Amino acid sequence: MFTGIVTAVGRVASARPHGDGLRLRIDAPGFGLDDVALGDSIALQGVCHTVVAKDAAGFEVDTSAATLAVTTGLDEGREVNLEKSLTLADRLGGHLVSGHVDGVGAVTAFEDLGGSWRLEIEMPAELSRYVARKGSIAVDGVSLTVNAVSGNRFEVNIIPHTRAVTTLRRLAAGSPVNLEVDMTARYLERLVGARQ
């Protein structure tokens, strides 16, 4: 589990073929790997991965063909948002995020409002029922509050701090983004469906 509060931005230093997928080497200066052990979970662009190797400068994870088929942003040379998995002693500053991406959306607008930015994203149609105004959503692993929803599009506001410390600063119209809807909405749908 994660919170969607990104603690560092790393870079995919290499992406080597490994099994049916890739072994990714992540350079992670300033991320703090002293408390990370082999087998721990780290989210990359909102995608949960297991650490299979590490040193002082970074770590490695394996990603499968199945994961690569339903996510974006794990290409060699690409900056990635990083977050260690949540512990019971951590503050929950964002919202509960599983690291299991629900789909890939596309940025339709990233507008400077003079002090913050309006980010509009078109999501896959099947996800729209889970996204609500003032609800939570993870975009490339960043916990955000939904300000508006219209059909298959939603808007969020990006404050200067979030833009400065995440990969969201690189977005432009047409950019693909990983989306994870609020898990509470999924459980509510399941509970309501079971009653009917």
- Amino acid 195: pLDDT: 67
**What fold is seen in the domain 8-84?**
Elongation Factor Tu (Ef-tu); domain 3 (2.40.30)
CATH number given to 103-195: 2.40.30.20
Over residues 53-82, the pLDDT tens digits come to: 999 999 999 999 999 999 999 999 999 999
Q: Judging by DSSP bridges, how do beta strands 136-139 and 142-150 pair with one another?
A: antiparallel
All residues at 6 or more sequence positions from 169 whose CB lies less than 8 Å from its CB, including other chains: 163
Over residues 158-167, the pLDDT tens digits come to: 999 999 999 9
- Amino acid 166: pLDDT: 98
pLDDT greater at residue 193 or residue 55: 55
Question: What residue ranges do the domains of the chain occupy?
Answer: 8-84, 103-195
Count of other CB atoms within 10 angstroms of residue 171? 21
All residues at 6 or more sequence positions from 165 whose CB lies less than 8 Å from its CB, including other chains: 6, 9
Q: Which amino acid is at 177?
A: V
Residue 92, pLDDT > 90, answer no
For the segment 42-57, the average pLDDT, to the nearest whole number, is 97
For the segment 84-99, the average pLDDT, to the nearest whole number, is 86
Place of tokens 């790997």: 33
Q: E strands along 39-190, which residues?
A: 41-44, 47-54, 58-63, 79-84, 103-112, 117-122, 136-139, 142-150, 153-158, 176-181
Task: Of 86-90, 94-98, 124-128, give the lowest mean pLDDT range.
Answer: 86-90
Name the phi and psi angles at 16, rounded to 5. Answer: -100, 140
- Amino acid 87: pLDDT: 82
Instruction: Tell me which H or E stretch contains 70.
Output: helix 65-70
Residue 182: which of 120, 130, 119 has the closest Cα? 130
- Amino acid 95: pLDDT: 87
Place of tokens 């409002």: 113
DSSP 185: H
Decide whether 8-84 matches 103-195 in CATH topology: yes
Over residues 134-191, the pLDDT tens digits come to: 999 999 999 999 999 999 999 999 999 999 999 999 999 999 999 999 988 877 877 8
Over residues 120-137, the pLDDT tens digits come to: 999 999 999 999 999 999
